[in-house]
Amino acid sequence: MDASSTIAFLHTVADAVDALTLERYERRRLTVDTKPDNSPVSDADRAAERLIREYLERDFPGDAVYGEEEGGSLEHAPRRWIIDPIDGTRNYVRHNPVWATLIGVEENGQMVAGMASAPALGRRWWASRGGGAWLSENGGEPQRLRVSDIDRMDRAAFGFSSLSSWDETGRMATLIAFARATWGTRAYGAFWPYMLLAEGAFDIAAQPGLDVYDMAALVPIVEEAGGTFTSLEGKPGPWWGSALVTNGKLHAAAQAIINETHVQPGSRD
C-alpha cells in the first residue's frame, strides 16, 4: 500500500472514530473503570479500539494489530497498526479537551505513517515517510509542519506530560535540570507536547513511563517535521518506554542533561 492510500485510510478511520468519541465526550455519560495500574479506562476507549479494529479486519485482514485496550503481539510482522484509541483518558473523562486517537503504521520495524486526531481541539496531525508532516485545524486546508530553529537551551521551550512519571522513575533531578536550563517549561498532557514541537511551538519534549502505543503514531509526525525522536537513553523509535523529542538542533544538549542528572538504579558514585 502506498503512502497516499495509507493516509487516506487513516483519515477515513479517524473520521469515524472522532464521531464516536466526540459524541460520548459531549454527552458526558461514560462508564469508567480502573485498570490494575490505577489508570482509567472508559467504555469509549473500548468502543473506539473495537471500531478501528473493525476497519482493519475489513481492509487489511492479514496485518498485525497492537492496541492499548485489546493488546496484540509486538513480534516481527511485515506491517502492524499500533493503536491508542484515546490518548489522554484522564482528560477525556474529566471533560478536558486534550485527548486524541493515535494510530501508527509500522513496516518491518520502522514507523512509516502516523495520525493523531484530537476532535475536541479541532486538530488533526499526520505524516508518512517522505510525505511531510501536516496539520488540519477544524477540517481546514492542511498546513505543512516544521520544527523550530532554536539552537540554544536558554531560549528553548520545554514540554512534558506527567509529573508523577518523573518521580516514579527516579528522574525528578532531570526534570528540574530541564526547567532550570530552558527558557520556559509547560505541561500539557498526553500527545500534545510532541505535536506542539512538530509545529515549532516547543523545542524539547520529554517523558518517562510511556508505552509504545503512546508514541508510535507520533514518531513519523515529529521526524517528518524535521525533529528527532528517541528514548531518554538515546535509542531511536517508540519501543523503549520513554521519549526525548527535540527540534534536532538541541538533541545532543538535551541528552547531555539527561546523562548528567540520572543515576541508573544500582550504580555507585
C-alpha distances out from residue 123 to 84, 139, 251, Å: 17, 8, 27
What DSSP string runs through 48-111?
A: HHHHHHHHHHHH-TTSEEEETTTEE--S--SEEEEEEEEETHHHHHTT-S--EEEEEEEETTEE
Would you place residue 218 in the very low, low, confident or very high pLDDT band (cuts 50, 70, 90)? very high
Average of per-residue pLDDT values in the chain: 94
113 Cβ contact list (under 8 Å, min separation 6):
3, 6, 7, 10, 104, 105, 126, 127, 128, 129, 220
**Residue 168 pLDDT more than 70?**
yes
pLDDT at site 103: 99
Q: What is the pTM of this model?
A: 0.94
pLDDT at site 264: 64
- Cα–Cα distance for residue pair 263/165, rounded to 1 Å: 16
Torsion over CA: 146, 148, 151, 156 (sign):
negative
87 φ, ψ (degrees, to nearest 5): -85, 120
Give the residue numbers of the binding site for Mg(2+): 68, 84, 86-87, 214
Q: What DSSP designation does 222 have?
A: H
Would you place residue 265 in the very low, low, confident or very high pLDDT band (cuts 50, 70, 90)? low
pLDDT at site 268: 39
pLDDT at site 207: 98
| Beta strand ranges found along 108-160 (DSSP E) | 110-118, 123-128, 132-137, 143-144, 157-160
pLDDT digit string, tens, across residues 47-74:
999 999 999 999 999 999 999 998 898 8
Give the residue numbers of the binding site: 68, 84, 86-87, 214
C-alpha distances out from residue 165 to 32, 242, 251, Å: 22, 10, 21
Would you place residue 10 in the very low, low, confident or very high pLDDT band (cuts 50, 70, 90)? very high
Would you place residue 267 in the very low, low, confident or very high pLDDT band (cuts 50, 70, 90)? very low
**Residue 266 pLDDT more than 70?**
no
Cell 538535551, residue located: 254
**Residue 39 pLDDT more than 70?**
yes
